[in-house]
Structure 1
Amino acid sequence: MSRHSSHSSRSAAPCITLYDLKSASPQPWAPNIWRIRFILNYKRLRYRTVWVEFPDVEATLRAIGAPASAARSDGRPIYTLPVVVDPTRNPKAPHILSNTNNIAEYLEAAYPARPVFPEGSRALQTLFVHYIQEVFVKPLLPIMVPLSHQSLPERSQSHFRGAPGYPASPHAHASFQMLPPGPQREQAWLAVKEQFDFLSVILDKNVGDGDGIVACGHEVSYADFALCSVLIWIQRMAAQDGWMRIREWNGGRWVRLWERCKAYMDEY
């Protein structure tokens, strides 16, 4: 569903607001934000999206009273997306949350129907998600960061480059240079495939007790959304060079996971 679609029924009453990254792409792609979008869709919660360019993130989040998501070594706060504002339970004092994992925990506690943390799975899912964001994605960064930077509006690109008038972002990757076609790019994709192969072996351990596709038995969960968010990132930023490769890996496992999560890919 397009992010430009009209949803009059969704605007009739207070609803959750998701702050997402504005880009030149017609569709959202940032994996950490997609994890929250998946949860909102899965739990069938009403929400709308506010799109923010990178140079405006800190000012926008300060203006709404959002907490910082982290701190620099000198103690100065760091403001990042996603942020969620939930006025539905108390319109006079809405809950305002930052940090993807904190938001996920809040949504699960505040809206327990259709849980994304099946009973007894929270610790292992947390470990799984930590692996996805700290280990699994690392080989992807030299490929995906330049592609993602290229998809940003020029003002956001300038912000990351530290052009005059736009101070350099503290989150800027060391290099936005695209990997050239040839051995260097193929070596990068080989390192990515090693992580996919490893994860495929792990998920195969569920065969028999589960369907071998999702992380927790037979039903999708937060762990699957974390992984599928990375697949969305690749599909939208590297459809030909990346997604066409990955859909063939491990016997088509990742396409099957995509299909399991597809029902929760709405973009409001």
Structure 2
Amino acid sequence: MSQNVITLYDIPSNTPQPWAPNIWRIRFILNYKRLPYRTVWIELSDVENTLRSIGAQPASMRSDGQPVYSLPVIIDPLRPNTQTVVLSRVEKIVEYLESTYPARPIFPEGSRALQILFVHWIHEVLTKPLLPILVPLSHQRLPERSQAHFTAASGHPQLGPQDRELAWRAAKDQFAFLASVMDKNRGDIAADGIVVMGRNVSYADFALCSVLIWIEQVAPRDGWARVRTWNDGRWDSLKARCRDFMDVY
């Protein structure tokens, strides 16, 4: 069966669930679209060799011209009348899954541009104050062999208690702004005010919930314990709305 399902590559950790938010975005979509898949776990030290061996494209290029290989990556043997597809970069994978498997769309008609802009804001603004907190904690959750390869952690040294509290305060401000924007949906009779598009979950919710999972998995006591109470428990409610699509196969 494993040869006839989509393969999603992810990194192992010592958390109860995977934590990498970009990979969670893809897992949410696979679950939501009910596409059969399996997760293959690879240590960070093995990512480049593994991705080269399956013919995956690099995610980016360094300033010296050397390729950078990173996750998520999928292999799709299911696409009819074509060769097996190997895809890297989260944005390309999202677009591919939506166009190739249009049933149960993650972009309701007319919403694609706004949702992509919303997800860009999550990535570039909402998560910015979280990075100095969560990146070092993510490093600690990796197996020892992978920690040396998690080079992003070197740019975010462990914060002291005062700086960490300031970072959480800045994150709370960003979540409060987001809540105020999403509250504008409450005036629509068809909206419940929890999900981005009003009533039904969509790609924007999966991107946001991927960040919530990251917080919960790497900072359950110092982080998620506080975030889940912000804005009258809105983010805990959003995570509950996405729970049906959080299986790990």
TM-score by length of 1: 0.88
198, 209, 212: which one aligns with 1:217: 198
> Partners in 2 of 1:212 and 1:105 — Cα distance?
26
Deviations 1:241-262 (A, max 9, x none): 1111011110111011011100
166, 178, 182: which one aligns with 1:199: 178
Distance 1:91 1:67, change over 3 A: farther
User: 1:25 aligns to what?
Assistant: 15
Secondary structure of the residue aligned to 2:186 is: coil
User: 2:136 aligns to what?
Assistant: 146
Secondary structure of the residue aligned to 2:207 is: helix
Secondary structure of the residue aligned to 1:207 is: helix
TM-score by length of 2: 0.95
Secondary structure of the residue aligned to 1:112 is: coil
Secondary structure of the residue aligned to 1:25 is: coil
Unaligned runs of 5+ in 1: 1-10, 161-168
User: 1:4 aligns to what?
Assistant: none
Instruction: Indicate whether 1:239 and 2:220 are aligned.
Output: yes
Secondary structure of the residue aligned to 1:206 is: helix
Secondary structure of the residue aligned to 1:96 is: strand
Secondary structure of the residue aligned to 2:196 is: coil
Q: State the superposition RMSD in angstroms.
A: 1.5
Instruction: Indicate whether 1:93 and 2:83 are aligned.
Output: yes
User: 2:5 aligns to what?
Assistant: 15
Contact 2:135–2:153 (CA under 8 A) maintained in structure 1: no
Residue 12 (structure 1) shift: 6.4
Distance 1:207 1:151, change over 3 A: same
> Partners in 1 of 2:54 and 2:157 — Cα distance?
31
User: What percent of counterpart residues are identical?
Assistant: 64
Deviations 1:129-157 (A, max 9, x none): 00011111010011101110000111111
Secondary structure of the residue aligned to 2:17 is: coil
Contact 1:32–1:100 (CA under 8 A) maintained in structure 2: yes
Structure 1 segment 89-238 matched on structure 2, within 5 A: 89-90=79-80, 93-160=83-150, 169=151, 171-177=152-158, 179-181=159-161, 183-209=162-188, 210-238=191-219
221, 224, 232: which one aligns with 1:251: 232
Residue 184 (structure 1) shift: 2.1
Deviations 1:12-33 (A, max 9, x none): 6600000011223242110000
Q: How many residues align?
A: 247
Distance 1:61 1:13, change over 3 A: closer
Deviations 1:157-196 (A, max 9, x none): 1234xxxxxxxx4x4541342x233x22211110110110
Residue identity in the other structure for 1:187: L
> Partners in 1 of 2:64 and 2:144 — Cα distance?
30
Residue 91 (structure 1) shift: 8.5
User: 1:41 aligns to what?
Assistant: 31
Residue 231 (structure 1) shift: 0.2
> Partners in 2 of 1:101 and 1:137 — Cα distance?
17
User: 1:3 aligns to what?
Assistant: none
Unaligned runs of 5+ in 2: none
**Between Structure 1 and Structure 2, which shows a larger proportion of helix residues?**
2
Secondary structure of the residue aligned to 1:58 is: helix
Secondary structure of the residue aligned to 1:19 is: strand
> Partners in 2 of 1:75 and 1:120 — Cα distance?
38
> Partners in 2 of 1:91 and 1:53 — Cα distance?
33
Residue 213 (structure 1) shift: 1.0
Distance 1:12 1:80, change over 3 A: closer
Distance 1:65 1:90, change over 3 A: farther
User: 1:65 aligns to what?
Assistant: 55
Contact 1:23–1:53 (CA under 8 A) maintained in structure 2: no
Residue 92 (structure 1) shift: 7.2
